[in-house]
Structure 1
Amino acid sequence: MGSAGAFVTPLLLVLVVVNGGVALNQDGLYLLEAKRALTVPTAALADWDPRDATPCNWTGVSCDGGAGGAVTAISIQGVNLAGSFPEAFCRLPRLASINLYSNYIGPNLTSAAVARCKALRRLDLSMNALVGPLPDALAELPELVYLNLESNNFSGPIPESFGRFKKLESLSLVYNLLDGHVPAFFGGVSTLRELNLSYNPFAPGPVPAELGNLNALRVLWLAGCNLVGSIPASLGKLRNLTDLDLSTNALTGSIPTEVTGLTSVVQIELYNNSLTGPIPRGFGKLAELRGIDFAMNRFDGAIPDDLFEAPKLESVHLYANSLTGHVPESVARAASLSELRLFANRLNGTLPADLGKVTPLVCIDLSDNSITGKIPPSICDRGELEELLMLDNMLSGRLPDGLGRCRRLRRVRLSNNRLDGDVPAAVWGLPHISLLELNNNQLTGEISPVISGAANLSKLVLSNNRLNGSIPPEIGLASKLYEFSADGNMLSGPLPGSLGGLTELGRLVLQNNLLTGQLLQGIQSWKKLSELNLANNGFTGPIPAELGDLPVLNYLDLSGNRLTGEVPMQLENLKLNQFNVSNNQLSGPLPPQYATEGYRSSFLGNPGLCGDIARLCANSQRGSRFHSGFVWMMRSIFIFAAVVLVAGIAWFYWKYRSFNNAKLSSDHSKWTLKSFHKLSFSEYEILDCLDEDNVIGSGASGKVYKAVLSNGEVVAVKKLWGLKKDVGNGGEASTADNSFEAEVKTLGKIRHKNIVKLWCSCTHDDCKLLVYEYMPNGSLGDVLHSSKAGLLDWLTRYKIALDAAEGLSYLHHDCVPAIVHRDVKSNNILLDAEFGARVADFGVAKVVEATLRDPKSMSVIAGSCGYIAPEYAYTLRVNEKSDIYSFGVVLLELVTGRLPVDPEFGEKDLVKWVCSTIDQKGVEHVLDSKLDMIFKEEINRVLNIGLLCTSSLPINRPAMRRVVKMLQEARAEARQRLEKDGKLSPYYREDASDRGSSV
């Protein structure tokens, strides 16, 4: 109906009659107008039927119950509505509540759109796609009580008009892009009961002291607001305050004692600041206090004795400070305390002897302190304990027998202490325990057969104790066991055959024990085993050939045993990063894959193996030297002829090439090849193809050659630039070294159809080569942004998008630990002969687990211009959300055909250009004109997915697994719509929509 709808005469509206003379009332007509202004999924709002008399039974619509059926509330949540906020809603004269949570409303919310909602009391537009400044007109709505705009992309300062709300009680602007300072004028909105401004990139500024004037305030959340300075004492005047959250800022100074006067407070969160000094006394007198989180600050001194006297106190987080002294005796009298986390401090002394007798502890973490003495025997008397974490202390004595009665225990971590004695038998069989970590103590005794009852045990770490006896066969009943590490003990006897049936087993580490007998046969169930270490035991007999059938095994150490027989040829099926069978009694020839210098150390100490280890591949090396000499002679003749025929600059060019090729080809025996798949070629064939005439690309990390091998196979070889520094003298490893290690560690263990295959690596001194499968159509960027773009119709582009999404989803969700690519771009998406896509170039990839342990590992900018997520502006941390942003840019490239940065955009990049162009001219002005618009609906859906992935706020970006699903849904819904309209393209019919497994 558009803007003209306001001028339609009442008579005309009354005469809108459908099906038998039933007329929809005025409120219903306004709602239909609003629906037409939005993009609505087919299944959503299907019951908004114009044949009804009133809209009161429509989905998401509430009425006042009167005869006229006046609409009072609209609640349409999470149905993927898209488009601007419908002004027609505000024509409903009695509309008091609008809830459009979790849709795609956007991009703008203007003052004009909301100014007429005079009766509105509640407005919830959280988790949408709104951008731009906050509308001033919101503060002019006279009845507005509740306003929730969180998880959008509003930017700019909070307008001064927001200090003039008349009745506002709750305001939430969390997770936007607001700047300026946290405004002091909120101190004048006397009706406020809840103020939540958390997680906005405000300019550094103080906590406004004026907020202490809000006598009615119950909730004050200012987490992640870039606050600096001290906590104002005026906050102590907020006698009605129940929740105070100033966490994740840069606050300094001490906690003002006035804060202990917050008599109604339930929760205080000050974690992740730079607060100092001792924790003040007085919190124990707060009658309603349930939770305190002062973690990750610089507090020192002792924990106040009265802290645990607060009668309702349930949770105390003081970890990662510099607290000293004992754990107060009063903690044992805290009748409500369920969670106590004091790890990473400097606490010492012994624990209260009766801790746990009265306290209903669920989780206790005292790790990384200097606590001595015994674990209190009453620690689990209340029977609620689920997590017992006391690693890295100086605890001694036996494990309490009471732990065996702790039936809810899920995680026990007591490593790196001085515990001794036998482990209580019942502990082995706790029904819910998933992690039992007792390594690096002085524990004795045997692993009890009651371990059969540990139905949820996933990780059993017993390394470096004094455990003895045999491994019980009942361990095979712990069906979820992923890791069994018991190295450095005195375990004896054979391995129980039941181990071979553990289908979830990923790590089996039993080196440095007294185990005997033959290695297990019947291990076909070990489909997830990646590490097997049985070194330095007394195993005899042959190496089982079936080890070669384990699909993901990449660490195998059987050294230091008494194994006999030959090295099975089946081991060539493995892609091993670590392989060691040295110091056994093996004999016979080696499998050809391992008969190279690169594996010399893997076979030492086996006198009967291949005669003499020093001559592992003597014959092949002689052949190699002959081949190398012949090749060098022919190339020398060629170079000499070139020198004679070409003068000047050409002479220098050929001279350089002869030197370069000589360096690569000479002394082939010194090259080390590490394969990750079964190879049908040798490193010598690869070296012979590294000719400048075969160069097909060059980038920041190296030069890429096309190598056509003697068997007709084609591979791509990347030669990394040699920028090596003197690491031994304090220099850092070179870019080439880092890139090489990242590629090998990442691609060496990945098996996925949408990630480029790394065949092998070759190294010699400072020269490093990576050999990949060859992708004949090059990169997506090269094709899309060249004269070849016509080859990429929409169906091909969609296929490329889905292939790349599935590859990234595998990295993020199926790799353990997850992998962040860090340089997703169209030039790193390669295309095979049928334009299937592979994600490539992992030179800056990072394992997420490693980055969590060492945040500095992400402190270097990685990525390419136009693809880098905007959070780099205020942090150098990179996670999966950064990859998702970059992939969103790739989707926009596919839809628009535009480069990520273009002089035509001015100071904008592709993301900003798309958003502004859609806003000003409409979506049709950003779509690639080369695309067939029969697919317009599907193209638009992919465009929306790209915009969602490139949200400025990381929390708004969907996970890659969700992106894959959305892309599949976009195709399915578009097909369904075209089929319904009788316009289904024959190309769609031929397209294989039902894609197989990604792995």
Structure 2
Amino acid sequence: MLLNIAFFFLILSFPYTFCLNQEGLILQQLKLNFDDPDNFFSDWNDRDDTPCKWLAVTCDSVSHSVTSLDLSNANLAGPFPASLLCRMRNLTFISFYNNLLNSTLPEYDLPVCESLVHLDLAQNLLTGKIPSSFAELPNLKYLDLTGNNFSGEIPVSFGTFRQLEVLGLVENLLDGTIPAFLGNISTLKQLNLSYNQFFPGRIPSELGNLTNLETLWLTQCNLIGEIPDSLGRLSRLTDLDLALNALDGSIPSSLTQLTSLIQIELYNNSLTGELPPSGWSKMKALRRIDVSMNELSGTIAAELCELPLESLNLYENSLEGELPESIANSTNLYELRLFQNHLTGVLPKDLGKNSPLLWLDVSSNKFSGEVPTNLCEKGVLVEALMIDNSLSGKIPASLGQCRSLNRIRLSNNNLSGAVPDGLWGLPHVSLLDLKSNSFSGVIAKTIASASNLSSLILSGNKFSGNIPEELGFLASLLEFSGDHNVFSGSLPNSIVNLGQLGKLDLHDNALSGELPRGIHSLKKLNELNLANNDLSGNIPQEIGSLSVLNYLDLSGNRFSGKIPNALQNLKLNQLNLSNNRLSGDIPPLYAKVMYKNSFLGNPGLCGDIDGLCDGRSDGNNGCAWLLRSIFVLAGVVFVVGVVWFYWKYKNFRKVRRAIDKSKWTLMSFHKLGFSEDEILDALDEDNLIGSGSSGKVYKVVLSNAEAVAVKKLWGSTKIADESSDVEKGNVQDDGFAAEVETLGKIRHKNIVKLWCCCTTGDCKLLVYEYMPNGSLGDLLHSNKSGSLDWPIRYKIALDAAEGLAYLHHDCVPPIVHRDVKSNNILLDGDFGARVADFGVAKVVDANGKGTKSMSVIAGSCGYIAPEYAYTLRVNEKSDIYSFGVVILELVTGRLPVDPEYGEKDLVKWVCTTLDQKGIDRVIDTKLDSCFKEEICKVLNIGLLCTNPLPINRPSMRRVVKMLQEVGGVNQLKNASTKDGKLTPYYYEDASDQGSVA
């Protein structure tokens, strides 16, 4: 009976066990080789006759043998199964693009794949050396190993490929130099070695032998020396990219022999000499030229401008002469960037008339004459940037009809006349900069239509009349600078409606009347400068409620009455109330000698500042002397009592705190209302609010009821890193020194304020402003995350971005934070964000071109940019990647690393989930769906910031701008395309280069 049952089950199982053909069994074995969290292999059914209907499998229609296996974007993890794949003799196509393959490649299994034509292993985690046996595959035409962690040199055997047409080794860890033997692969059509840290080396002249080559990409390959003449023999070349290297010498004239060339990119090198003066006329296919950020001189050849160009980037060179008129005849020209050269003459009068011009930047040259009237003839102009020239005449009325405009910068020219009414009210303009010209007339009421305007800069002109009430309709306005004009009348009452306004500067005008009521609603006001006008009345008490105000200048007016005591609530870096008609007592916080200049020229003011109240009577002086004496005596008695109490209590305190106060050194960076003793006495465990690897953090409530946070670092916190010569001085290379050097000089509303530091032999203290809501990371990833609705998260992202943008663009030299993460973004009582923890911050090259190499990785797991992790080369792009991760945290509510992701991090999890499951599976479920459109835009910004290629990440200034646009009515700017792939727009105009902080 038992034998019959066993035979019955054997019969049932027989057809299912043996019906699948041999190649299907191989693929079933391959399936078991991988971790498949997304169940990609779900339809690989072992009961089928053949695998030909399985997902990702293609078979020959006659023989039914497997010819293609495409496992792209399948989220598979495991080793590359070369030995299994090569058992399928007719397999010609293999793709594992964008998976998590994590092994080394076998050296000897590969040659068995004799039929293989196409092998794509790009965007994985493969390591080790590249096998030399690839070259033994007789039919291989396509080999792409981009975006892995291969190391070592390119194998010598690669010079023996028989039929290879495409070789992609982008973004690996390859070293050595680019080998000359690659010039032996005569069949090669595409060679892409970009973004590898090769040893410094020259471009092999032998590459000129690749006469079938169509694409040559050697971007950021540590190339030096001159561009070889031999490249002029590549007659089929359509794309030449040698950008981001250290090439020098002149551009060889032989390159003008490349008649098939469509795109040439040589930007960010050290090329010298002139652009080839002739030969351009033969390059009829050329559409894009980018030789910016070099040291080129000479003139722009007329032949060059006669080509049917789409994009011409020659910025940041030393070019001279005039811009040929023929550039205006390029019917496809959409991008013209010539800023920071020495070009002269007038701009072509027909510029923009025949072409769909989008971006024009001719800033920082010596152009004269009028602004061309046809710049927006096609109605698509987005940016018109012409600062720092000698342009004259009026703004053409046609620009006032250009509704596509987003940024207008005409500052530092000789322009005059009235601004066209239409220009004031363009609906998409976010920046209108007319500074330092001779414009006259009034601000037109049409400005009410400029709903996206965030910066209005009119300083140093002859504008007059009243500031219109319509200005208060601009809900997105962040800055209004109208100083050194002739504005008159009172400030419009509607100005208090500008809830986003951060800077209001109208000093040196003829304004009169009182400050408008309701100024307390300007919650984000950081700078208020109304000096040298004719304003009167009392200084409003409500100014003291502007919590982020740090610059207040009301000097040179006719303000009267008392100084509001509420001003003591402010944390001001600049205060000036001099030369008014103020009277009464000075608030105690400011009744100090250090503030004397802030109150001069107010005869009625009183206070204990020598020389300020000389006009008072002797009787009053005597009375004041008596009162002071009484207070001094009372103070002495109090101090004696405190000393006695301390002496009696000394032994008990010695047990709790082994600190010798006499050895403490205090260094302050702001005006302090406390001493080191107040800090030291509060450093006990009852006040502990956090701890980390470098020390502990205490909350200290001062005698004036304000709170500060004190970070105590014990012993050495030395970080094995190169010292940064900050501000011409060699700083001790530890976290304490870096933080003091960095934060001690910074003044920005979104950077945590360092009040002072205290040091002794074995202990160091940093005293910061206290952030009641703690760190973003702690709050976002706790059970309190529900309190972070989307408007608050958006506000946090924008605040933090503005802080980082200040470090990158407004500090000279720029500062790279190197440890941007959610735990280093602190939140005040209103959830305003401050960037904190500068213990590993570094300054970067003053010339802005180089990166700085570090001997160890600084940063936190999940936030480290991929190129930083293996090259240890740091620049601003590393911070941008980390900030992108923070944005993804805000959108998803997830940790940057989590066991749930497997071997991925948050960035890869978001990308994979978006592709496979859609946006709803990515967005934090705690967020209200009514904000979905805005959340998606911010998510897109996060993905731009975490682009694996540093060059494709936007600058922090661009990130701030995009985030601001999300908060307005405009859509995010469309990404531009580069090399056939969607990439963020990353060019910076002359105005975005940073200034002295």
CA distance in 1, matches of 2:713, 2:66: 73
Among 240, 249, 253, the alignment partner of 1:253 is: 249
Kept in 2: contact 1:743–1:843 (CA 8 A): no
CA distance in 1, matches of 2:98, 2:558: 64
Length-normalised TM-score, structure 2? 0.71
Among 80, 86, 91, the alignment partner of 1:85 is: 80
Q: 1:196 to 1:233 in 2, by over 3 A?
A: same
1:415 lines up with 2:403 in the alignment:
no
**Residue identity in the other structure for 1:479:** A
Q: 1:255 to 1:590 in 2, by over 3 A?
A: same
CA distance in 2, matches of 1:109, 1:48: 26
Kept in 2: contact 1:938–1:971 (CA 8 A): no
CA distance in 2, matches of 1:570, 1:25: 86
1:163 lines up with 2:159 in the alignment:
yes
Q: Secondary structure at the match of 1:532?
A: strand
1:944 lines up with 2:915 in the alignment:
no
Q: 1:468 to 1:638 in 2, by over 3 A?
A: closer
**Residue 45 of structure 1, CA deviation:** 4.6
1:235 lines up with 2:227 in the alignment:
no
CA distance in 2, matches of 1:563, 1:537: 10
1:660 lines up with 2:663 in the alignment:
yes
CA distance in 2, matches of 1:693, 1:622: 39
Give the match for residue 683 of structure 1. 675
1:740 lines up with 2:743 in the alignment:
no
**Residue identity in the other structure for 1:238:** L
1:716 lines up with 2:704 in the alignment:
no
Per-residue CA distance 1:582-623 (angstroms, 9 max, x = gap): 433444555555555565544444444555655999989986
Per-residue CA distance 1:788-831 (angstroms, 9 max, x = gap): xxxxxxx99xx9xx9xx9999898647452667746499x9899
Give the match for residue 35 of structure 1. 31
The CA RMSD measured in Å over matched residues stands at: 5.5
CA distance in 2, matches of 1:830, 1:440: 37
Q: Secondary structure at the match of 1:73?
A: strand
Equivalent positions of 1:629-640 (< 5 A) are none
Equivalent positions of 1:492-571 (< 5 A) are 492-522=488-518, 526-571=522-567
Q: 1:628 to 1:123 in 2, by over 3 A?
A: farther
**Residue 440 of structure 1, CA deviation:** 0.8
Kept in 1: contact 2:708–2:768 (CA 8 A): no
Q: 1:457 to 1:543 in 2, by over 3 A?
A: same
Kept in 2: contact 1:464–1:487 (CA 8 A): yes
Give the match for residue 104 of structure 2. 108
**Residue identity in the other structure for 2:263:** Q
Q: 1:275 to 1:887 in 2, by over 3 A?
A: closer
**Residue 416 of structure 1, CA deviation:** 0.9
Among 371, 375, 386, the alignment partner of 1:390 is: 386
Equivalent positions of 1:561-600 (< 5 A) are 561-588=557-584, 593-594=589-590, 599-600=595-596
Q: 1:94 to 1:478 in 2, by over 3 A?
A: farther
1:402 lines up with 2:402 in the alignment:
no
Q: 1:260 to 1:512 in 2, by over 3 A?
A: same
CA distance in 2, matches of 1:416, 1:249: 33
**Residue 871 of structure 1, CA deviation:** 5.0
Q: 1:413 to 1:811 in 2, by over 3 A?
A: closer
Give the match for residue 98 of structure 1. 94
Q: Secondary structure at the match of 1:109?
A: coil
Give the match for residue 288 of structure 2. 291
Q: Secondary structure at the match of 1:277?
A: coil
Equivalent positions of 1:852-871 (< 5 A) are 855=848
Give the match for residue 74 of structure 1. 70
Give the match for residue 817 of structure 1. 805
CA distance in 1, matches of 2:856, 2:706: 36
Per-residue CA distance 1:882-912 (angstroms, 9 max, x = gap): 6979999xxxxxxxxxxxxxxxxxxxxxxxx
**Residue identity in the other structure for 1:221:** W
Per-residue CA distance 1:745-774 (angstroms, 9 max, x = gap): 6697459xxxxx86844799xx99742489
**Residue 531 of structure 1, CA deviation:** 2.7
Q: 1:520 to 1:126 in 2, by over 3 A?
A: farther
CA distance in 2, matches of 1:54, 1:500: 74
Per-residue CA distance 1:627-676 (angstroms, 9 max, x = gap): 57865898699999999xxxxxx9xxx9x957536x87xxxxx988647x
Among 425, 440, 443, the alignment partner of 1:447 is: 443
**Residue identity in the other structure for 1:683:** S
CA distance in 1, matches of 2:421, 2:922: 56
Equivalent positions of 1:806-885 (< 5 A) are 813=801, 815=803, 817=805, 822=817, 824=819, 841-843=837-839, 845=841, 855=848, 877-879=874-876, 881=878
CA distance in 2, matches of 1:840, 1:862: 23
Q: Secondary structure at the match of 1:302?
A: coil
Kept in 2: contact 1:397–1:418 (CA 8 A): yes
Q: Secondary structure at the match of 1:123?
A: strand
Kept in 2: contact 1:16–1:24 (CA 8 A): no
Equivalent positions of 1:167-566 (< 5 A) are 167-280=163-276, 281-310=278-307, 312-522=308-518, 526-566=522-562
Q: 1:75 to 1:865 in 2, by over 3 A?
A: closer
Number of aligned residues: 839
Which stretch of the first structure deviates more once superposed, 321-330 or 692-701?
Answer: 692-701
Length-normalised TM-score, structure 1? 0.71
Which stretch of the first structure deviates more once superposed, 403-412 or 41-50?
Answer: 41-50
**Residue identity in the other structure for 1:944:** E
Give the match for residue 991 of structure 1. none
**Residue 150 of structure 1, CA deviation:** 1.3
CA distance in 1, matches of 2:851, 2:169: 29
Give the match for residue 120 of structure 1. 116
CA distance in 2, matches of 1:774, 1:508: 27
**In percent, how many aligned pairs have the same letter?**
45
Give the match for residue 617 of structure 2. none
CA distance in 2, matches of 1:184, 1:625: 88
Q: Secondary structure at the match of 2:398?
A: helix
CA distance in 2, matches of 1:625, 1:116: 98
Give the match for residue 782 of structure 1. none
Kept in 2: contact 1:604–1:613 (CA 8 A): no
CA distance in 1, matches of 2:923, 2:372: 61
**Residue 288 of structure 1, CA deviation:** 0.7
Which stretch of the first structure deviates more once superposed, 851-860 or 433-442?
Answer: 851-860
**Residue 338 of structure 1, CA deviation:** 2.7
Q: Secondary structure at the match of 2:269?
A: coil
Q: 1:512 to 1:37 in 2, by over 3 A?
A: farther
Kept in 1: contact 2:243–2:267 (CA 8 A): yes
**Residue 408 of structure 1, CA deviation:** 2.2
**Residue 241 of structure 1, CA deviation:** 0.9
**Residue 940 of structure 1, CA deviation:** 4.6
Q: 1:572 to 1:183 in 2, by over 3 A?
A: same
Kept in 2: contact 1:463–1:488 (CA 8 A): yes
Q: 1:208 to 1:733 in 2, by over 3 A?
A: closer
**Residue 365 of structure 1, CA deviation:** 1.8
Q: 1:706 to 1:259 in 2, by over 3 A?
A: closer
Structure 1: runs of 5 or more not aligned: 1-11, 644-649, 665-669, 676-680, 722-729, 752-756, 780-794, 833-837, 889-936, 950-955, 974-999
Equivalent positions of 1:857-936 (< 5 A) are 877-879=874-876, 881=878
**Residue 292 of structure 1, CA deviation:** 1.4
Which stretch of the first structure deviates more once superposed, 142-151 or 417-426?
Answer: 142-151
**Residue 64 of structure 1, CA deviation:** 4.3
Q: Secondary structure at the match of 1:204?
A: coil
CA distance in 1, matches of 2:602, 2:757: 26
